[in-house]
Amino acid sequence: MEALYDVQICQKNLSRPSPLSHERLYYIAAEEVLWNYGPDGYDKFTGQGLNATVLLIPSFTLFFQGPVIKAEVGDTVLVTFANKAKRNYSIMAHGVSYSKLSEGVPYLDGYPKPGAHVKPGETFTYKWRVPENGGPTESDPPCLTYLYYSATDAVKDTNSGLVGPLLVCRKNTLNPDGTQKGIDREFYLLFSIFDENDSWYLNKNIEAFTGDPSKVDKDDEDFKESNKMHAVNGYLFGNLPGLAMCKDDKVSWHLIGLGSHYDMHGVHFQGNTIDLRGTTRDGLALFPHLSGTALMQPDQLSFSGTFKVVCRTFDHFVGGMKHLYEVSSCRNTTQAQQQYSAVRLYYIAAEEVEWDYTSNKMEDRAGKSGQTHI
């Protein structure tokens, strides 16, 4: 399901773009590593042990996701990519503009694309620009969340792990060290069912981690299902480290969707609400190659402790797409604290009852007895 569109220069003497404000340099390598989806060895929600979760994957040199690329409106971004893996890879980005020379997707359109298939042992520098009309609007957060990924073979490359986050920010949003002004913590969460059946490294993993590779039936449905990793940042069942913040911290969550038609994610934050484009929520929906930025600020009167950030799609939740974040009392505050003015009491019981899903009987158009479906 793909199509091509054509962009041409239709007018002469077009106005020249305004000078770019800044040039940002990034250096990224693709390397083959052994990855453990559950490094702690157990389910942090139940305490039960996990089965083998170690596999060979390529990585953009930062945990499972690649390094965070950040740019402001008007910037030029130069990404030097070193392919240290054993097959051709590339980098394709959302949210920025580029010439055909810096396009990371191979297809036949009559233009050379050296950046679409960087060979093992070679390097290539991509040049991207962030146009004025590509930045956050007044109703958007200061930084929009996008992604970059290898697209030489987009399905196999991303299922093998080659993906990372990219932020496009308003002017004067970033500090010299690249952190966001006015933000205390930044977290990046990639929700995806990584299908190891569609990884470049399936056969190598079978050879390395099964007792007798000749007895493995790659068409067996149970085997296929066992290779679908319902992961956040490549981790399962609470094994994702580092999600910690203080009360009153201003937190920016950058959430990314990836995968197939199965990857419809209802991301839910327990214990705190988020600001999503000026609306207050406690969750948001993610779909493949769509992303969002959510702002959170646990107040001083909220509870300290450990809370869940999970995908509420049942199959994904059961499969391990659930993790924990921690809110601590790190400092005293001198600001006037909000006082809660009332206590409201509710009494709710859980009872077992017989339920009729078709209590309203109807007749279909043919006059036959039918039932409504809820």
Residues marked active site are found at: 311
User: Residue 181 — left, alpha, or beta (φ > 0 → left; ψ -120 to 50 → alpha)?
Assistant: beta
**273 Cβ contact partners less than 8 Å away, ≥ 6 residues apart:** 280, 281, 282, 296
> Where do runs of H (alpha helix) occur along the chain?
154-159, 202-209, 221-226, 314-318
Nearest one of 163, 85, 72, 76 to 117, comparing CA atoms: 85
Q: Are 121 and 87 in contact (CB under 8 A)?
A: no
Residue 353 token pair = 């009852």
Using CA atoms, how far apart are residues 37 and 44, in angstroms rounded to an integer? 13
Residues 78-102 as b or e (16 or more Cβ within 10 Å = b): ebebbbebebbbbbbbbbbebeeeb
What number of residues does the chain have?
374
Q: Are 166 and 148 in contact (CB under 8 A)?
A: yes
Q: Is 314 helix (H, G, I), strand (E, B) or coil?
A: helix
Q: Which helix (H) or strand (E) holds 337?
A: none
